Structures are given as structure tokens and as C-alpha cells.
Amino acid sequence: MKKTVFRFSGVLCLAAGIAACSSSPSKPSITLTSPKLVTPAQGAQIANAAQPITLTIQNATSTGSTALTYTFEVATDEQFTNVVYTKSSVAPGTDGTTSQQIDTLPAGKGYYWRARADSGSTTGPVTSALNFAIGPAVTVGAPALSSPGVGATVSSARPTLTVTNSTTTGPVGSITYKFEVSTTDSFDSLVASGTVAQSSGQTSYTLTQDLQDNTTYYWRVTATDTTNNISSTYSGVGNFKTSLGFDLNQVVYVLGPNISSWPQTSTITNAYADGSQLCIYHTKLGVWPTTPYPYDPSATIEGNQWVFAKINGTWYGGASDWYRPGQACKGVTAQSIGGDAFYAWEPLKSWVPHSGEVFGVADTTPARAWPSTKTLDERTDVKLLTWP
């Protein structure tokens, strides 16, 4: 019998007579383009602090219908014999680009990166490599506390704290120092804090709020490279004690009785002078008994504000303005704090506090016209303030 040969898509079929012969056509090939490298660009210089970096490509194209994935590679050489990072099967982005954040690379070195697309069993061409460099590592050491020394006694309500500047490596930027002050060495709550720019050799910060007398405080400092956003660890913890030279027993009283022996039954919770008023809040404000105002019996008073000033090395004090029941604030300026309240009693009469001057305040039961206004003869503690 004569055999007839049929050829379908390169496959030979033998058939006899009218026997049928069939074959599947060849699967068409898929063409992939390489993606386009976007960032980091050729020759990019990247600060070490900017790590981890992200590689970004413009997506490849494909003649097939299978979704593409991408492979990223980073090496220390252009031939990619020393690959330091690789990531495969990265899903494409939806905006025509695909990004991959890579692991942190050793600082102070140059690198090459490339990418390719994959479609199932078809691997696309690898891009040409681009190079970039990671800058040297930047470190900021902890500053060293300088003054006041550990256990020192300070005589200012707003002491100046000083540190020896941090040691640094690498291309550091602007350095700032954050000072923290607390009444506990755990720094659970701060009584003062401030940030200042680095000075040459040593950096200092002067507190902007008053500390209490005869109190132990703890302080510590950190340094920050604000350009690279790198902070040091904390310095060691220092401590100092305030001794502001104030003693009620040593005050020369120019108006009102000597209140050093009066029992302290109330504690000042907040006191301040802002240049227009003097406010003293304490735990018995509005609680102490009232008495008729000696110059207008139809009005009642609860007590007096007290003011203490150090003049020519001596502390002077006296009962200042009257206050009504529950009243904490009185209108007080630099010119009126002495001249108005002590209009006939020197040296407080002529005293005008200057900015930054430390003075004392307290509250008592009525004392200015004592004993005619006497009630309980009680007082608060004394708080030292700084004139604004």
C-alpha cells in the first residue's frame, strides 16, 4: 500500500488511504523588554543616614499575557561577581513603575544595581548597571557633663549647665544639644528642658524657669545631628543642689511682722511675675479665714502677698498688697512692686527689679496692719522667682 506523508508544523504523520492526521501548532514565543532603571540614578551619592534606600524601575513590556515580575540585584562590582543583595518575584507597581526597598548596605562604599523582568518561564534581558555610592557612616557620641559638677551646690535659681561637646565621625551636619532637668534620677517628669546649638568646644544652656531653693536636681544631655537625624545616647546623669542664699530668719522686715516663726500651713503650687502682674497660687488659697479690710470694713480680705528683695547683699521683705478671698493675682510692674506697695518704707520703696533678678514671694494671712488684722498667723513657703 502506498503511504502518504503529511507534515503539520514540523511533525511527520503517516497515513494510509484517507486516514486522518493532526497535530497542535507550535506555541508562539514571548518577547520581553528590559525595564528602565530610574533611581538611584547613575553616580548618585547617598548619605548613609538615608538608608535603607529604594530601587525604582520603569516597568518592562511583554508580548505575552502573563503578569510580569521583577528581579533586583546589587553588587560591589560591575560584573556582579559579588552580589550583596538580590530580590526576585517582585510584583509590578500599578503606576508603571516598580520599587523595592533593599537591606542596609555597608557605609562608605560604591555599588552597582540592575534589574530584569520575568514572565513565567521566560526571562527578560538584564539592564545595564548603574552605580551609586553610600556615604561614610556618621556617628555622634554622648556629650560629657562639665558643670555644675556632681553634687555641686548652685546659688542661682536659673543655673547655667555646660557639657563638653560630643565626638563625631563622618560628615556631620548641625549639632544641637538637648538639656533635661528633673527632681528624680529616673527623669519621670521634667522641671526644665531646652535645646541649643553647639558652641565651640563646650555648649551651655541657661534655664529659662526658676528652680526651687534647697532642692536636689538631676540633669542629662543628648546631642543630635539635625542634618542626618542622628542622636547620641544620653550623657551620664549629674546632680546638683540649689542654695539660693535665702533664709527667713535673715530677712530684714520693713513692713509687717517677722514671719519666720509663723507655721507654714500652705504650699505654693505656682507663682510667676510676667511684668504686669504677680500671681501666687497655694494650697490654702480661698481657705484661710477672712477679716474686714481695715480701710473699708464693708470689704473682706484673706491675706497679703509678700515680696523679698536682695539689696546690697541683704534680703529685705515686707507684706505687700492685700488680696481678697481666693484672689491669686495682683497688678504688679517693675515700678510698682516697690514704690506702690512700700511707699514709705525703704529700701523696698526705691527697689526696681531688673530683668533676670531673683526675688522671693510668699502669701500669709493678714499681716500688713498686724496685729489689728490678725487671724491665724499662717504662711506659705517662699518661692524664688526671676524678674522677666
Per-residue pLDDT of the chain (388 residues; tens, 9 = 90+): 333 333 433 344 444 443 444 444 555 678 899 999 999 999 999 988 889 999 999 999 998 888 899 999 999 999 999 999 999 999 999 899 999 999 999 999 999 999 999 998 889 999 999 999 999 999 999 999 999 999 999 988 889 999 999 999 988 999 999 999 999 999 999 999 999 999 999 999 999 888 888 899 999 999 999 988 899 999 999 999 998 778 899 899 999 999 999 999 999 999 999 999 999 999 999 999 999 999 999 999 999 999 999 898 889 999 999 999 999 999 999 999 999 999 999 999 999 999 888 899 999 999 999 999 999 999 999 998 889 9
CB atoms within 10 A of CB 286: 12
Three cell numbers written together for 380: 506659705
d(CA 109, CA 169) in angstroms, rounded, equals 16
d(CA 35, CA 61) in angstroms, rounded, equals 8
| Cα-Cα end-to-end distance for the chain | 122
Q: Which CATH number fits domain 139-242: 3.30.465.10, 3.20.20.70, 1.10.3720.10, 2.60.40.10?
A: 2.60.40.10
d(CA 349, CA 360) in angstroms, rounded, equals 16
The amino acid present at 104, given as its one-letter code, is T
Cβ neighbours of residue 284 closer than 8 Å, sequence gap 6 or more: 265, 266, 378, 380
The pair phi, psi for residue 350, each rounded to 5°, is -95, 0
Q: What residues does 113 pair with on adjacent strands?
A: 74, 130
- Torsion angle of C-alpha atoms 311, 254, 365, 385, degrees rounded to 10: -10
CATH class of 36-134: mainly beta
DSSP string, 211-246: PPTT-EEEEEEEEEETTTTEEPPP---EEEEE--S-
Q: Quick check: do 139-242 and 248-386 share a fold?
A: yes
pLDDT given for residue 28 in this prediction = 63
d(CA 251, CA 263) in angstroms, rounded, equals 17
Spatial contact of 176 and 204, defined as CB atoms under 8 Å apart: no
Query: Using only C-alpha atoms, what is the Rg of the chain?
Result: 40
The conformation of residue 370, written as its DSSP 8-state character, comes to T
Q: Which CATH number fits domain 248-386: 2.60.40, 3.30.70, 3.40.1350, 1.10.150?
A: 2.60.40
pTM value > 0.85: no
Q: What does the domain layout of the chain look like in residue ranges? A: 36-134, 139-242, 248-386
pLDDT given for residue 357 in this prediction = 86
DSSP string, 69-91: EEEEEEESSTT-SSEEEEEEEEP
pLDDT given for residue 26 in this prediction = 52
